[in-house]
Chain A
Amino acid sequence: MIFRKSVLSLVAIATLAFVGCEKSQNSESQTASAGAEKNETASVQTNEKSENQIKMVGSSTVYPFASAVAEELGATGGVPTPVVESTGTGGGMEMFCKSKDAPDITNASRAMKLKEFEECKKNGVTNITQAQIGFDGIVLAQDKGTTAMNLTRNQIFLAVSAKVPSKDGKSVIDNPYKNWNEIDASLPASPIMVYGPPKSSGTRDSFEEMVVEHMTTKDYKDLYEGAGLKKFKDIRTDGLYVESGENDNLIVQKLTKDKTAVGVFGYSFLEENGDKVAGATVDGATPTSENIASGKYPISRSLFFYIKNDRVAQVPALTKYVELFMSEKMIGERGNLKKLGLIPMDKATRDAMIKDVLAKKQLSGDGLK
């Protein structure tokens, strides 16, 4: 009898639960019977039901800034806190351009590529505004106990590129360098071991472009083009560059264990972990916020977010979020985001940018690469 009662009550609970949740999950049961067309309506209903909540995807570098603004908006703006996902710049762009629905914003640690813009256009996402929020520098850091290296962009290129110019400078060969002092006698005689972001990351994109592609399209342009390697920007894959996930914190942990290893990550992370790691100088400039904003430190980049303006109709909070983000309180010289590692633009650029974004200046394909 006991078994029977317990079983019956369990079945009853399970059935109740199932019926109960079917009310909220209108799609699941409908599609089972009704096929794909009906789901269009189901999805519209659920989208309307998801109220006034902004959904954001994109760069892991912009993620901390975006979520700080999101939290501020949720706490003080009287709207649901926006959801911020860290998908990497490329992944974010893909989702952003796929449909006219959510995500409403994608964060990016580089400008939108022309290819991505075309993809957006193809899917009807045309009314986009680009907002630049400031700068971030990419640093090469080592454990604090290790003497900081003085590198040049060329030396970094020789250490990480998949293919490098041969010693006689006449051909392009697979990267043979295993120790830093093989690149330049002034560098330490320690093995090259670089922990850096994976392909999905915006930091990786920028690092490839600002170091490898920069060298192969400027200093070694003729050599690489002669070898049929136009715009070459591949990072070595022989195990000396280790992809370390979107989780920058893990890189810091590895550096404190492996004293001679070098980590590649955003400047904000260096600032937060200044007690554990120190940045190498590049072309004689130390990675400081002044050197990055002035462009003296060569490996730096702009940070952006992109807004789907047509979504304001469904998600009115979007306007509030953009206004809050593009305010002196956030991106200014004394703004909240500076404490989190964002390097502000200078006053004039900033004011012009804020004006453009608030006027919903539409992004055109011109000037995109």
Chain B
Amino acid sequence: MSTHNPFFDPTLKKRHLADKIFKFVALSALLIAVSFLVIFFTDIISKGLPSYKQAYVNLPVTYNKDTVADSSYAIDEEHYELVSRAWYRDMPMYATAHPEVMNKTTKEWVLADDEVDQYLKGHAHTLTDEQKVVVDKMIKEGSVELQFNSIFFSTGDSKIPENSGFLSSVVGSILTIFICIAFAFPIGVMSAIYLEEFAKQGKVSTFLEININNLAAVPSILFGLLGLAIFINLFGMPRSSALVGGLTLGLMTLPVIIVAGRTALRSVPASIRQAAYGLGLTKWQVVKDHVLPLGMPGILTGSIIGIARAMGETAPLIIVGMIAFIPDIPTSFTQASTVMPAQIFTWAGMPEGAYVERVSGAIMILLGVLLTMNALAIYFRKKYEIKW
């Protein structure tokens, strides 16, 4: 019967099946991508959240001449190993600065050793059985607890896990990115304007265009080598400084901004330029008052994404010496500083559990910053976007 139907398509069933298969494949690709993301985030968050808490122990501390001379006597022998080495190191300075505490034994909250911290959080630890008994007893008495980890948010790197913080690399990142923006944004935007509005279309500009597009895809490590050769070896800028790092990242971001800028400027309709020229405006007036404002949302979106990439970049900074042990919070552009992804990289190479935890905690902060920047880019685009 069906063979007499002029509308019957013998391949219909097959085509529908192919359609279903295609839909299924596309959906499973999406599911795989999403599940990886979910696994990544649950892993990072479940590992990272504990790093925002830090164990403290409430112990009687004896301040007198002997304990200031050798701080290891300030805590009784039973609890000696439970207290952080950082506390023992800093205690004499504290006592000298606060003479009123001298010759007294006071019960106070002191920073616990990272092994106690890991034990409390239920992670692998190296406490001995006797120490565990002591800590268990202290838990019952309420003299050991997890408090907000203010150290993590207020200091820099340390070889004592419980004493290490993320702030110095956050400050380093801010300084570095500031230099990067100050260097790459004006130069990138001006280059884009020149290439798009002023340059004559010819062999030279085509050659430049091809090269800039290629530069935008060059592996970042090469920019590190370029930065080392130019800024450190030729210009003699201080190694490991935010200045060198920022300029190196700026070199890397520059082609991205130029490409984004040109695309944005090109999307401004020619009719606007023609109307402006028709009214007798100069090129500078056309660019300043019309083309640039209309292209700005696009330029900003491209630039912010380029800068966000620079912020998460590590490879070129290895070459210019920003991946190092730099605990001090930098106060100037020429001082040695490290950046967030570099700090994460350094901690990831450390064996102690407290660092593993800090890696995830730091990744959460870095991701937060990057998500905020991307959200900002989307906001700018949506707010000022004009559809022609």
Count of CB-CB pairs between chains A and B under 8 Å: 141
Secondary structure type dominating chain A contacts: helix
* Cβ-defined contact, B181 with A248, below 8 A: no
Query: At the interface with chain A, which of B43-51, B99-107, B206-214, B348-356?
Result: B348-356
Near B by CB (< 8 A), chain A positions 9-31 give 10, 14-15, 17-18, 20-21, 24-25, 27-28, 31
Whether the Cβ atoms of A249 and B350 lie closer than 8 Å is yes
Interface residues of A in 109-128 (CB under 8 A from B): none
Task: Tell me the residues in window 234-276 of chain A with beta carbons closer than 8 Å to chain B beta carbons.
Answer: 246-250, 252, 269, 272-273, 275
Indicate if A72 sits at the interface (CB-CB under 8 A): yes
B241 contacts which chain A residues (CB < 8 A)? Answer: 50
- Contact among B158, B237, B321 for A25, CB-based, below 8 A: B237
Q: How many of chain B's residues touch chain A, expressed as a range?
A: 35 or more
Given A15-B186, A76-B89, A85-B324; A46-B334 close (CB under 8 Å): yes
Assess whether A249 is in contact with B235, with CB atoms less than 8 Å apart.
no
A70 touches which of B160, B289, B296, B325 (Cβ 8 Å)? B325
Q: In the complex, how many angstroms separate the beta carbon of A182 from the nearest chain B beta carbon?
A: 34
The answer to whether A42 and B159 have CB atoms under 8 Å apart is: no
Quote the shortest CB–CB distance from A59 to chain B (angstroms): 13
- Contacts A18-B186, A31-B235, A42-B235; is A85 near B289 (CB within 8 Å)? no
Query: Once bound together, how far apart are the Cα atoms of A247 and B384, in whole Å?
Result: 47
Interface string of B205-242 (1 = CB under 8 A from A): 00000000000000000000000000100111111110
Does the CB pair B235–A27 fall under 8 Å?
yes
Does A366 lie at the interface of the complex (its beta carbon under 8 Å from any beta carbon of B)? no
CB < 8 Å neighbour of B324 from A64, A83, A340: A83
Residues on B with beta carbons closer than 8 Å to the beta carbon of A275: 124, 126
> Which listed residue (B185, B238, B325, B336) contacts A14, Cβ 8 A?
B185
The answer to whether B236 touches A67 (Cβ under 8 A) is no
Q: Which residues on the B side are within 8 Å of A68 (C-beta)?
A: 159
Q: Are B296 and A10 in contact (CB under 8 A)?
A: yes
Q: Compute how far the CA of A46 lies from the CA of B324 in the bound complex, rounded to whole angstroms.
A: 20
**Residues A21 and B323 in contact in the complex (CB < 8 Å), given A39-B236, A249-B348:** no
Q: Say yes or no: A36 contacts B349, CB within 8 Å.
A: no
Question: In the assembled complex, how far is the CB of residue A253 from the closest CB belonging to chain B, in whole angstroms?
Answer: 10
* B311 contacts partner chain A, Cβ-Cβ < 8 Å: no
Give me 4 other A-B pairs in contact (C-beta within 8 A), A7-B296, A43-B235, A49-B334 excluded: A21-B333, A36-B234, A53-B335, A83-B324
Enumerate chain A interface residues (CB-CB to B < 8 A): 2-4, 6-7, 10, 14-15, 17-18, 20-21, 24-25, 27-28, 31, 36, 39-40, 42-43, 46-47, 49-50, 53, 55, 57, 63-64, 66-68, 70-72, 74-76, 80-81, 83-86, 102, 246-250, 252, 269, 272-273, 275, 336, 340
